[in-house]
C-alpha cells in the first residue's frame, strides 16, 4: 500500500505537468458554460461549466418537500415570508444543515449554516487528498464547523476512486462551486479554495485557471512541476501556502521552494518576506499585502505517525487514530503543534476577500 501511495502521488505530479501552461493549468473548463450569477454587491462569480449541469441522479441527505414531478424543492423563506433561496436540479435542498448532492457523477458534501439561508455568506471549497474523501478531509480541517461559525457555506467534493485526475475533475468541481454561489446567493467577493495534497494541486490549478473568480487560495502539501504562472487567467488572488519541511511524499526543497519562488516572481514580490510568527516547529512569512496581493507561506517540522507520510500531515488536526470507512492513514501531525491547520486557513480567508 505504501509503495502504491508513493507511486500515485508521483503519477499525480506528472499528470499536473501535462495539462498545459501555468501552474498545472488544465483545459477542462468548457466554453459553452451557462451563466451563473450570485449575490455580491458589484461582482459576479462568472460562468458555470456545463459539466455539472445535468443534475442527473441529484440527491440530498436532508429531506425537502417533493413536487408533483418528483423533484425535491427544499426552498427556504426569509423572515418576511418571501422565498430567499430556491433549489435547482442539482442542489435540491437549500435548508440549513449537512447535505450530499450528486451532480454529474460526483458527490459533494455541503454544509449550509443557518445564517446563510438569507444569502450573502462566503464559500469555501475544501478538497481532500489521495486515498481520502470529504469526511476524512473534514476530520482534519473541521471546516464545516468553522464555516458555520464564520459565515461560509463549505463544499467538500469527493473524488471518484479517492483520486483526483488533473484535466478531468477540475471542471466539475469548479462548476459546482459556481452553481452553489448562484443557488445559495453567496457573496462572490468571498469565494475561496483550499486543498491538501492532491487537493492542494487542484488549488494551484484553480489559481491558474480561475484567478478572476476566487478571492484567495490555500494549497497545502503539494506543488505542480511547471511552477510558472505564465498563461494563467488574469487576477492575483491572495495565497496561503502550507508545506511540511519533513514531507516524505512531496519534498520541500524540490517542490515547495521553487513553487513559492515562482509565485513571488509572478506577483512581482521579492525578498525574504515579513516574519509573522515563528516557533520551534513552524515559520509563517508574508510577502506583499496592503495594496499588493498577499502571499503567505507556513513551513513546519511536524510529522504524521505513519513514516511513509512523515511531514505530509495536517498540523493541529485531531485525526490521530483514523478509523473512518476506507481510511488508510490518520493524517494528523502527531506532535504538540503550534498552529491549527483549519483555523489558520479560515483566518486567512476572513482577512482576504476579493480586493
Q: What are the tens digits of pLDDT across the range 46-83?
A: 333 333 333 333 344 443 333 333 344 466 654 434 44
Return the closest-CA partner of residue 179 out of 59, 64, 45, 73: 45
Is the residue at 33 inside a domain? no
Q: Supply the angle between the helices 134-141 and 341-351 in degrees, to the nearest 10.
A: 80
Q: What percent of the chain has pLDDT over 90?
A: 70
pTM exceeds cut of 0.85: no
Is the residue at 31 inside a domain? no
The alpha carbons of the chain give a radius of gyration, in whole angstroms, of 19
- Tell the residue number behind the cell numbers 440527491, with chain if given: 59
Overall number of domains in the chain: 1
Residue-range definition of the domain harbouring residue 149:
2-25+38-351
Whichever domain contains 100, its CATH number is 3.40.50.1820
pLDDT at 75: 63
Is the residue at 32 inside a domain? no
**Mean pLDDT, to the nearest integer, of 297-302?**
97
Please report, for residues 100, 233, 281, 294, the alpha-carbon distance to residue 264 in angstroms, rounded to integers and kept in the order given.
38, 16, 24, 10
Q: What are the tens digits of pLDDT across the range 236-269?
A: 999 999 999 999 999 999 999 999 999 999 999 9
**Mean pLDDT for all residues in the chain:** 83
Backbone angles phi, psi at 72, to 5 degrees: -70, 135
Is the residue at 298 inside a domain? yes
Is the residue at 250 inside a domain? yes
Return the closest-CA partner of residue 247 out of 235, 257, 232, 237: 257
Is the residue at 213 inside a domain? yes
Q: What are the tens digits of pLDDT across the range 5-37?
A: 544 444 445 444 333 333 333 333 333 333 334
Can you give 80-113 as a three-state secondary structure string?
CCCEEECCCCCCCECCCEEEEEEECCEEEEEEEC
Return the closest-CA partner of residue 317 out of 339, 349, 286: 339
Name residues whose C-beta falls within 8 Å of residue 234's C-beta, 6 or more positions apart in sequence: 211, 212
Is the residue at 30 inside a domain? no
Amino acid at each position: 500500500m505504501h509503495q502504491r501511495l508513493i507511486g500515485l502521488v508521483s503519477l499525480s505530479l506528472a499528470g499536473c505537468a501535462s495539462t498545459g501552461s501555468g501552474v498545472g493549468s488544465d483545459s477542462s473548463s468548457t466554453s459553452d458554460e451557462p451563466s451563473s450569477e450570485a449575490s455580491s454587491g458589484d461582482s459576479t462569480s462568472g460562468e458555470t461549466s456545463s459539466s455539472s449541469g445535468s443534475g442527473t441522479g441529484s440527491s440530498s441527505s436532508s429531506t425537502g418537500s417533493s413536487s408533483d414531478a418528483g423533484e425535491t424543492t427544499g426552498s427556504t423563506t426569509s423572515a418576511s415570508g418571501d422565498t430567499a433561496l430556491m433549489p435547482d436540479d442539482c442542489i435540491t435542498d437549500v435548508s440549513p444543515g449537512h447535505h450530499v448532492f450528486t451532480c454529474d457523477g460526483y458527490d459533494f458534501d455541503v454544509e449550509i449554516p443557518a445564517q446563510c439561508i438569507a444569502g450573502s455568506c462566503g464559500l469555501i471549497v475544501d478538497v481532500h487528498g489521495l486515498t481520502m474523501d470529504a469526511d476524512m478531509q473534514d476530520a482534519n480541517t473541521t471546516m464545516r464547523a468553522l464555516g458555520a461559525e464564520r459565515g461560509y457555506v463549505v463544499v467538500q467534493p469527493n473524488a471518484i476512486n479517492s483520486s483526483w485526475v488533473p484535466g478531468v475533475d477540475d471542471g466539475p468541481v469548479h462548476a459546482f462551486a459556481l452553481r452553489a454561489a448562484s443557488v445559495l446567493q453567496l457573496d462572490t467577493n468571498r469565494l475561496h479554495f483550499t486543498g491538501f495534497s492532491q487537493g492542494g494541486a487542484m488549488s494551484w490549478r484553480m489559481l491558474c485557471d480561475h484567478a478572476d473568480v476566487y478571492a484567495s487560495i490555500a494549497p497545502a502539501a503539494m506543488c505542480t512541476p511547471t511552477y510558472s504562472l505564465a498563461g494563467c487567467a488574469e487576477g492575483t488572488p491572495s495565497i496561503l501556502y502550507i508545506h511540511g519541511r519533513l514531507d516524505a511524499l512531496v519534498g520541500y526543497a524540490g517542490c515547495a521552494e521553487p513553487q513559492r519562488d515562482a509565485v513571488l516572481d509572478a506577483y512581482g514580490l521579492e525578498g525574504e518576506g515579513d516574519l509573522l510568527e515563528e516557533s520551534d516547529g513552524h515559520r509563517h512569512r508574508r510577502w506583499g499585502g496592503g495594496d499588493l496581493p498577499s502571499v503567505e507561506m507556513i513551513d513546519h517540522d511536524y510529522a504524521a505517525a505513519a513514516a511513509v507520510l512523515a511531514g505530509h500531515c495536517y498540523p493541529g488536526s485531531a485525526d490521530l487514530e483514523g478509523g473512518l470507512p476506507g481510511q488508510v492513514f490518520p493524517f494528523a501531525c502527531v506532535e504538540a503543534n503550534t498552529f491549527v491547520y483549519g483555523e489558520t486557513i479560515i483566518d486567512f480567508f476572513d482577512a482576504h476577500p476579493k480586493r
